[in-house]
Amino acid sequence: MTMMLTRRLMLVAAALTVAACERTSAPPVGASANPAPAAIVHEIEPVDVVAHPNPLAALQSADPMLAANKRLVFDLWRSVVDAGHVELADELLIEGYTQHSPVLRTGRKAFKEIFSVVPRREIPELVEPPLVASIAEGSLVAMALLERIPAREGASGYTTVHFNLFRVDGGRLAEHWHSVQTAPGPDVPVPEEGGPQPVTGTSGAAQLALLESPDPRLADNKRLVFDVWRQIVDAGHEELADRYLDAGFIEHNPNAAPGREGFKAYFAARADLPVEASIRAPLVAMVAEGDLVVLATMQEHPHPSRVGRTYTTTWFDMFRVVDGRLAEHWDAAPKHDARAQPAG
């Protein structure tokens, strides 16, 4: 979880004793929803995450429903999360809004209470943190936001991404997942008492249904990400990167060296395993639009304060595809000690 949003959520949770813790032209057909940086210099550090150069254009889509869904998510964030206008939640969220954050209670009523501590101000035109990408498919919208983590003693600053995934139902937001990995404190209620609802996903052959799309190009892009994940991320066969990654591959994970060779080195630290027919972690969603694919998986962890119980989080990765190969990657990984093993 990124520091800025961590602090915001922890302030919200503490205040409630919930946790311990305008119009723009549409981009040309086939244009990237998040254009690559103009110049890439492969140095020791990964390439910084950059904000979308035209955030409002990122909300556009040839499909009016997808454009409306992206705008709905964007408006919720800037009006309620950023500006504290919680009364708007009644028209933006369904009453039974399902919350999968590990630290926030579920339901629309809880959502309004949580964000009522955000200082009320004039609603800004754009979201904060800045938008990196907005990707919509079917009833799902994935929103990626740029986070700048400041330098601290013994560690340099870096950039990462905060992801949010929403499901839209009847023109309102019905369900939410995000990349927060913070463990719930002892005051966060359990799911059956109105606490965060467990993240669930599909396993085995059922995952193949999430690769389907009426657009063959999007189906191919999702299959590419799926295969790379099975063969390299899960099974550690980094030698296959030459087959799947563009020679100019751009890496934004703060723990990996840049480029295709950096990607290979990152996963070379893992022992080779048999390649499975599906992704090992339960698959929450795959969302594809344009040249971007967002992969969301479920992670399960021992509960820190409730013996015998677990809590769940959602892990996100985003890829840009060019000519049938992966050209760029973002995730929500925090920068870890250089002596640590790759987190995945």
pLDDT at 338 over 70: no
Decide if 263 is inside a domain: yes
- The span from the CA of 186 to the CA of 249, in Å, is 43
Residue-averaged pLDDT of the chain:
88
Domain with 295, as residue range(s), is: 3-20+46-331
Neighbours of 304 (CB within 10 A): 13
Q: Please write the tens of the pLDDT for every residue from 206-232.
A: 999 999 999 999 999 999 999 999 999
Q: Please write the tens of the pLDDT for every residue from 42-80.
A: 445 679 999 999 999 999 999 999 999 999 999 999 999
Average pLDDT over residues 144-150: 95
Phi and psi at residue 316, in whole multiples of 5°?
-120, 140
Q: Please write the tens of the pLDDT for every residue from 243-280.
A: 999 999 999 999 999 899 999 999 998 899 999 999 99
Query: What sign results for the dihedral spanned by CA atoms 61, 174, 223, 1?
Result: positive
Decide if 29 is inside a domain: no
Decide if 341 is inside a domain: no
The CATH code of the domain that includes 173 is 3.10.450.50
Decide if 25 is inside a domain: no
Average pLDDT over residues 68-94: 98
- The span from the CA of 209 to the CA of 283, in Å, is 11
Decide if 33 is inside a domain: no
Decide if 40 is inside a domain: no
- Residue of 201, 223, 211, 204 whose CA lies nearest to 316: 201
The number of distinct structural domains making up the chain is 1
Decide if 183 is inside a domain: yes
Predicted local confidence at residue 36, as pLDDT: 53
